A and B are shown apart, each in its own frame.
Chain A
């Protein structure tokens, strides 16, 4: 009978769970960060004190600048120039394919030797914004987009095919000189060319520097799920091997139901977990710990692929 654990049981299990997790040592790349700190961290406004006269002069300069910004365009009766938005996809495609730049050219960068994604970024637009992204993904898998810039950016990303929008992400912040990555995907049923519409603005001057690009990527058809699996007939004392080959990467749970005990009429079950790698045969080897009876046993797998979709499969074998 299923029931919920009590609060006390839950707390005991949580303490036990976290106590059992391994204590990790900070990787060398983190230790190295301290040797690569920038020379002069930006002083906060609150920590800088100017003389009164200087502050008044600065306020005057700000006032002049505001008047100039607002007044000059009005006097000229001309709308301020807006940077191009929604450029042709071909611009991004050719740039991404042919040009390679160092991550940051104008300011010192801090390398991350063990970053999960090693960017080989491409500069897009005139604003010193660098991107690296997966230019080909399978519909049932995810791609990644990495953005970096010498300046702090605020970006949004829309994943679309022109006809339909798959994802939209706003408020994607890119701190200065820090590569930021996000993963993206499309619907499983889609195949063809899709685009990452990346829109970024320099955080401090959003109206001046907002720009947008369509970055194309190819989507190949999702791989159909299939699991070939079997357990050979076996004697109870010999144990069993569950052999499988999955068409996609997946995290699986295996449930085995043994024949019912003739005395109690109760069937015993056991479970095990395994991680299936795409196209790689695997074996879950396990002794049957005292199967209560001989007869027909069943196995049932529940697998979750990398996108969170669940697949189930069932089979039978005999215990002799």
Chain B
């Protein structure tokens, strides 16, 4: 890592004192941003994976989120709010990706056949729930993941998604109604 003094000297020689200050400030901003972002990458990747149910797309989403966050980093006045701010960017990108999927349903299949499941195991229930979650709208899916995977309270979800708490509750209610109907159609009693 180059020292600030070294950076300052190099910059002063090449660009004058004003340019040097800009470079040092940029280097400092980069370090702060890197420190804040590095701890959020794995949680953000997991969140995006739960929302998108696609690791490749999740990776793309977080990649894009990092670039967007870096571009807008100067707009974030309170660094303590970085996590919520960054999570919101990730969620917004995931929402865009989910909406874009409506154009074509494209689900790449895995390379390896999963091992056959015992027909009476609990795994069937997981599959049914996973399939039901896949049928939720982008908005419903996001609040469901934030509520049941991230274990976030409604007010925190509202802040991240940028909607009123009442709307979060309504979307959770609508998602629950949809999921219960889907699981009922899938033979809930038989699967228990």
Q: Do A and B come from one complex?
A: yes
In the complex the two chains form, is A1's CB within 8 Å of B71's CB?
no
Q: Is B2 an interface residue (CB 8 A)?
A: no
Count residues of chain B with CB under 8 A from any CB of chain A: 71
Chain B residues positioned under 8 Å from A256 (CB to CB): 119
In the complex the two chains form, is B188's CB within 8 Å of A30's CB?
no
Q: Which residue of A lies closest to B173 (CB)?
A: A7
Chain A residues positioned under 8 Å from B33 (CB to CB): 34, 37
Chain B residues positioned under 8 Å from A274 (CB to CB): 113-114, 116
Q: Is A222 an interface residue (CB 8 A)?
A: no
In the complex the two chains form, is A167's CB within 8 Å of B103's CB?
yes
In the complex the two chains form, is B67's CB within 8 Å of A31's CB?
no
Name the interface residues of B114-147: CB closer than 8 Å to any CB of A: 114, 116-120, 124-127, 129-130, 133, 144-145
A29 to B49: give the CA distance in the assembly, Å: 16
Chain B residues positioned under 8 Å from A167 (CB to CB): 103-104
Interface string of B1-39 (1 = CB under 8 A from A): 000000000000000000000100010011001100110
Chain A residues positioned under 8 Å from B79 (CB to CB): none
Q: Is B183 an interface residue (CB 8 A)?
A: yes
Instruction: Knowing A21-B149, A172-B100, A178-B64 are in contact, say whether A14-B144 is a contact too (CB < 8 A).
Output: yes
A290 to B149: give the CA distance in the assembly, Å: 37
**Closest CB-CB distance, A172 to chain B, in whole Å?**
7
A30 to B33: give the CA distance in the assembly, Å: 14
Chain A residues positioned under 8 Å from B190 (CB to CB): 2, 269
Q: Is the interface of B mostly helix, strand, loop or mixed?
A: helix
Contact of B60 among A7, A42, A115 (CB under 8 A): A115
Interface centre among B55, B59, B70 (most CB of A within 10 A): B59
Instruction: Knowing A33-B66, A273-B117 are in contact, say whether A185-B148 is a contact too (CB < 8 A).
Output: no
A92 to B38: give the CA distance in the assembly, Å: 41
Q: Is A41 an interface residue (CB 8 A)?
A: yes
Chain A residues positioned under 8 Å from B124 (CB to CB): 271
Instruction: Knowing A5-B188, A41-B71 are in contact, say whether A286-B64 is a contact too (CB < 8 A).
Output: no
Interface centre among A116, A172, A185 (most CB of B within 10 A): A116
In the complex the two chains form, is A33's CB within 8 Å of B67's CB?
yes
Chain B residues positioned under 8 Å from A50 (CB to CB): none
Instruction: Knowing A167-B104, A277-B113 are in contact, say whether A41-B119 is a contact too (CB < 8 A).
Output: no
Instruction: Knowing A21-B149, A30-B41, A182-B103 are in contact, say whether A2-B63 is a contact too (CB < 8 A).
Output: no
In the complex the two chains form, is B114's CB within 8 Å of A273's CB?
yes
Interface string of B33-55 (1 = CB under 8 A from A): 11001100110111001100001
Q: Is B166 an interface residue (CB 8 A)?
A: no
Q: Which residues of A contact B (CB under 8 A)?
A: 1-7, 10-11, 13-15, 17-18, 20-21, 23-27, 29-31, 33-34, 37-44, 46-47, 110, 112, 114-116, 142, 167, 169, 172-173, 175, 178, 182-185, 249, 251, 256, 269-275, 277, 282, 284-286, 289, 306-308
Between-chain CB contacts (< 8 Å), 15 pairs: A3-B188, A4-B180, A5-B183, A26-B62, A30-B45, A34-B37, A34-B66, A37-B34, A38-B70, A47-B74, A115-B56, A172-B100, A183-B103, A269-B119, A289-B118
